[in-house]
Structure 1
Amino acid sequence: MLFDKYKNKMDKYLLENITFRTITLILSILIAFLVWIIVSRTDSQKVVFMPPKIINQEFWIAGNEVSKTYLHEMGQFVSFNLLNITKENANNNIENLLTLVDSKFYNEVKIKLLQQTNYIIDNAISRTFFVSAIDADTKGLIKVFGVVKDIIGDKVIDSNQQILSINYSINQGRFIINNISIEKEKPNSQKEVKEEK
C-alpha cells in the first residue's frame, strides 16, 4: 500500500518533471526564434533619403543596390538644389545638399558651395537649370545633362549646355555624395548617350 502511494507520487513527479522540461525546451526554442526574427528585421531596416517633392516614378532599394528611377530622382534633386539658385534660396539649397555629402568630403564641398553661393549673391544673379537628360547607367555616377542660364534682372547673360556629374555611393539604402563636378557639354555627348540606350 505504501509502495503504491510512493510509486504514484514518483510517477506524478516524473511526469511533472518531463512536462516542465518539455515546456522549457519549447519556450527556449521559441525565444531563440523570436530573437533571430528581431535581429534579422533590425539589420534589414534602412534609412532612405526621399527627395522632398512628389516622386513620379516607382523605385526599389535592396541592400546597396537601388533602381535607376531612384538615381534619376536623386539626379534631379541634386541638380535642382545646385543649379537653381537665387539669393533668397541659396543657403537653403546648400543645407539640402550637405545632408547627402559624405562626412570625409563635407568641409571641402561646403566651401565650394559657399563660394558658388557668394558669387551668385554678390553679383545678384539668378541661375536656372533645365534638365534635358539623365544618364545613370554607370554604377557610382549620375550624369545630368541640361541648359544653365544665368539671369540678371530680366536679361539672360549666359546660357550654355552643361553636364553635372554626381559621384555617389549607396550604403544600406543611404545615398551619399562623394563628388560633384560641372563641365560644359561637348556638342555630341548627349546624342551619344541616347544612342547607347
Structure 2
Amino acid sequence: MIFKEYTDRIANASAEIRFLRWLAGGLAALALLLVITTLRLIGSERVVLLPPEVNRTMWVSGSQASKEYLEEMGFWYAGLALNITPATSEYQNSLFLKFAAPSEYGRLQAEMGARAEFLRKNNVSTQFAVRSISVDAPNNRVALHGTLYTWTSDKKAGERSAVYMVGFKLINGRLYVSDFRETSDQDPFGGTAAGRT
C-alpha cells in the first residue's frame, strides 16, 4: 500500500514536470515569435494624420509620406509664402519658418526675409491661384502650377503663369520644408537639384 502510494506520487510528479516542461517550451516559442514580430515592425510604423476636413487618407511612414499629404502640405506652404501682403508678411514668414528643416533654416530665412523686405518697400501684395499640383513622392517634392497675381497698392500690376516647387524632409515622422523656389512648366521639380530636398 505504501509502495503504491509512493509510485503514484512519483507518477504525478513526473506528469507535472512533463506538463511544466511543455508549458515552458510553449512560452519560450511564444516569446521568440513576439521578438521576431517586434523586430519586423521596427521602422514600419505609420502615423495617420487627420486634417480639419478629411477627404482622403494621409500617412507618414519612415522617410516617406503619402502623395495626398505632400499635396495638402505643399498647397498650404505655398499659400503662406505666396498669398501675402506687406502687413501679413512678417507673421506668415515666421509661421513658414516654424516648419523649415533645421539644415535649411538659415537659407530659407534669408530668402523669405528678402522677399518680405521687397514687398514692404514696394507696397506689393501677391496671390497665387493654383491650377494643378504635381507630386514627386519618392523625393518628397510638390510642384504647384498656377497664376501669380501682383498688386501694387490697390492696383493690379500684373499676372503671369508660374510654377513653384516645395521640397520636404521627413524628420521623426514630421514634415519640414527643405526647399521653396520658382521653377518652370518644362522642369517643375527643378531638375536633379534634389540635394536640398
- TM-score higher than 0.5: yes
The answer for the alignment partner of 2:104 in structure 1 is 105
Unaligned ranges ≥5, structure 1: none
The answer for the alignment partner of 1:74 in structure 2 is 73
Q: Closer, same or farther in 2 for the Cα pair 1:48/1:112, shift >3 Å?
A: farther
Q: Closer, same or farther in 2 for the Cα pair 1:112/1:19, shift >3 Å?
A: same
Q: What SS does structure 1 have at the residue aligned with 2:166?
A: strand
Greater alpha carbon shift after TM alignment, 52-61 vs 127-136: 52-61
Letter in 1 for 2:118: Y
Deviations, residues 146-196 of structure 1 (Å, cap 9, x unaligned):
22223244212343222212233556864443322125x5xxx47x99xxx
Q: CA deviation at 1:48?
A: 6.2
Q: CA deviation at 1:41?
A: 4.8
Cα distance in 2 between the residues matched to 1:40 and 1:91: 46
Residue 64 of structure 2 contacts residue 138 of structure 2 at CA under 8 Å; is this kept in 1? no
Q: Closer, same or farther in 2 for the Cα pair 1:60/1:158, shift >3 Å?
A: same
Residue 101 of structure 1 contacts residue 176 of structure 1 at CA under 8 Å; is this kept in 2? yes
Cα distance in 1 between the residues matched to 2:118 and 2:167: 24
Unaligned ranges ≥5, structure 2: 189-197
Q: What SS does structure 1 have at the residue aligned with 2:103?
A: coil
Letter in 1 for 2:23: I
The answer for the alignment partner of 1:116 in structure 2 is 115
Give the fraction of aligned pairs with identical amino acids, expressed as a percent.
Answer: 22
Greater alpha carbon shift after TM alignment, 6-15 vs 154-163: 154-163
Cα distance in 2 between the residues matched to 1:47 and 1:101: 20
* RMSD of equivalent CA atoms: 3.4
Greater alpha carbon shift after TM alignment, 11-20 vs 138-147: 138-147
Matched positions, count: 187
The aligned runs of 1:142-157 (5 Å cut-off) are 142-157=142-157
Question: Is residue 2:85 matched to residue 1:86?
Answer: yes
Deviations, residues 46-103 of structure 1 (Å, cap 9, x unaligned):
34666x5535555566655555443332331221111011345434433443344322
Q: Closer, same or farther in 2 for the Cα pair 1:19/1:152, shift >3 Å?
A: same
Greater alpha carbon shift after TM alignment, 65-74 vs 155-164: 65-74
